[in-house]
Amino acid sequence: MPRLIVTLVTGAVFLVACQDQSAKTDSITNQAANGVAVKSQTTPPNTPNGKSSEPENENATMRSDRDSNATIPAAFHGRWGMNGNDCTSTRGDAKGLITISADRIDFYESRATPVKVTGSYAENFTAEFAFTGEGQSWTKLENLKLTNSSKTMVRTDKDGSFSYQRCA
């Protein structure tokens, strides 16, 4: 009987732990789908307390590791919105607006600098980006693809695909 109780309690704890992680993942996925900048939830390796050894300065983008040729092609430069209001808002609430230049992508609450280019073509660009935002730093592989005569851009990463329209 005691062995059965221990087995049931252990199973219940395991289910709660798995359910809690699933809720966090669903929340992050929903935020990303709604155009909200999502910061990394992963504890950096060799840091038991979760503190990164990276500088906390939001403008620090690990440039020492950056490939000097890691630039975003001119075809992608400009302002891009997930919906029409992102391009026209004057209140600073355009959460789906991104601005792309040769050396960075500016999101609502984060910025990304290309660190290593893995594919660069006329309308298709893939690179590892160093992100900073809200006091955190992380890296992520991003793909940018132009369609519809370069009026539409699809940004794809491990969290999904996000479509943007070029702002006028």
**Domain residues of the chain, as ranges?**
1-33, 42-166
Q: Which residues of the chain have pLDDT under 50?
A: 1, 4-64
Helices and strands, counts by H and E, the chain? 2, 8
The predicted structure's pLDDT at residue 134:
93
Query: What's the confidence (pLDDT) of residue 93?
Result: 78
Write down the pLDDT at residue 49.
38
Contact 151, 165 (CB under 8 A): yes
Distance CA 61, CA 40 (A): 15
pLDDT at residue 18, rounded to an integer: 42
pLDDT at 53: 36
What is the β-pairing status of strands 78-81 and 111-121?
unpaired
pLDDT for 109 equals 93
Q: What pLDDT, on the 0 to 100 scale, is given for residue 66?
A: 59
Count of positions (residues) in the chain: 168
pLDDT at 153: 98
Enter the pTM of the model.
0.61
pLDDT for residue 41:
35
In angstroms and rounded to an integer, the radius of gyration of the C-alpha atoms of the chain is 20
